[in-house]
Amino acid sequence: MDYKDYYKILGVDKKATKAEIKKAYKRLAGKYHPDRSKVANAEDKFKEISEAYEVLKNDENRASYDQLGSNWKQGQQGHGAPGGQGGFGGGADFSDFFESVFGQQGGGAHAGFGGQRQAVARKGQNIKQTIKVPLKDLYTGVNRTFMIKQVEEGAHGQAYMTEKRLNVKIPKGIEPGKSIRLKGKGEPGINGGSNGDLLLKIELDQDHKFELKGKDVYTDLLLTPWEAALGAKVNVPTPTGSVGMNVPKNMQTGKKMRLKGKGFPATATSVAGNLYAVIKIVNPPESDQTEEQWNALAEQFDFNPRG
């Protein structure tokens, strides 16, 4: 029997991962499925890609195939074809081979040819993607439009990737790392099976004003030297707007002031975090006048912070 390049048949590299091999097989199986495809010789092509997948999906069979190369058939004489299926040449029924690949409970796409067995419906795969969301949107909840990659099914059953605008509801208080599930927005089902789901993982969009640590939010509160020394009433930024705060006297850089409950919002299963304003003292712009004023101030104090 002639050597078959299973990698070439599936259109993958010889270093392809299991996931890449499975993805390539599913794409081709959808394209050449005999019950749906109008491509010439679809049944033969479907048998060929299924045979390739049966060998390459199994680590032991794949290793043997990679090692023996074009002589792999002779190396397995007396043992049947890879995977113990007996091949397609020794009187084995292809439908039996197909069942061994997919299994009845696993939801095979086709359980035989010639109309003797019914095709089994199979749910489409879920798709996972990441979306970046600003902190303020997680505070309030919002509807936002994202460009999402989705799998579409062509007129002849072939699957292809397309990019669409999709309106997504961001729930209030959903934490970064969690996912939003959009039912039926994943890969198309096979043989009338339901579509998979689209899972959108929340990633916090970069924000130069705020830092999220667990449920607590941190922000710098900029004070002039006299505000820090004398105390002042200032506005503290939060993701949803400014909040008034009284700064006590003699504040130092690095000290924190807490706004209770102004951190990451509460949900049905969690309490709100706190917002911490971290003091940062900022000097006025340099000029001849300010230098004179600093010198005059220095003469009035007998103070050395270094001891």
Segment 9-55, tens digit of pLDDT = 889 998 889 889 999 888 888 888 877 777 788 888 888 888 888 88
Write down the pLDDT at residue 190.
Answer: 79
In the chain, where are the structural domains located? 6-102, 127-204, 211-300
Please state which of the ranges 34-38, 112-116, 212-216 shows the lowest mean pLDDT. 112-116
* Whether the predicted pLDDT of 72 surpasses 90: no
Bridge-based pairing state of the strands 256-259 and 275-281: antiparallel
Average pLDDT, the chain: 81
Topology of domain 6-102, CATH: Helix Hairpins (1.10.287)
For the whole model, what pTM was predicted?
A: 0.58
| Beta-strand pair 198-204/127-133 | parallel
Looking at the domain 127-204, which fold is it? HSP40/DNAj peptide-binding domain (2.60.260)
CA distance readout (Å), 278 to 221, 222, 247, 252: 6, 8, 11, 10
Query: Residue 175 pairs with which residues in a beta bridge?
Result: none
- State the average pLDDT over residues 171-187: 92
The pLDDT value given to residue 148: 85
Percent of the chain at pLDDT exceeding 70: 80
Angle at 78 between CA 75 and CA 80, to 5 degrees: 85
pLDDT number for residue 43: 84
Q: How many CB atoms lie within 10 A of CB 176?
A: 15
Which CATH fold would you assign to the domain 211-300?
HSP40/DNAj peptide-binding domain (2.60.260)
**257 near 245, Cβ under 8 Å?**
yes
Q: What angle do CA 11, 17, 19 make, to 5 degrees?
A: 85
User: Are 6-102 and 127-204 equal in CATH topology?
Assistant: no
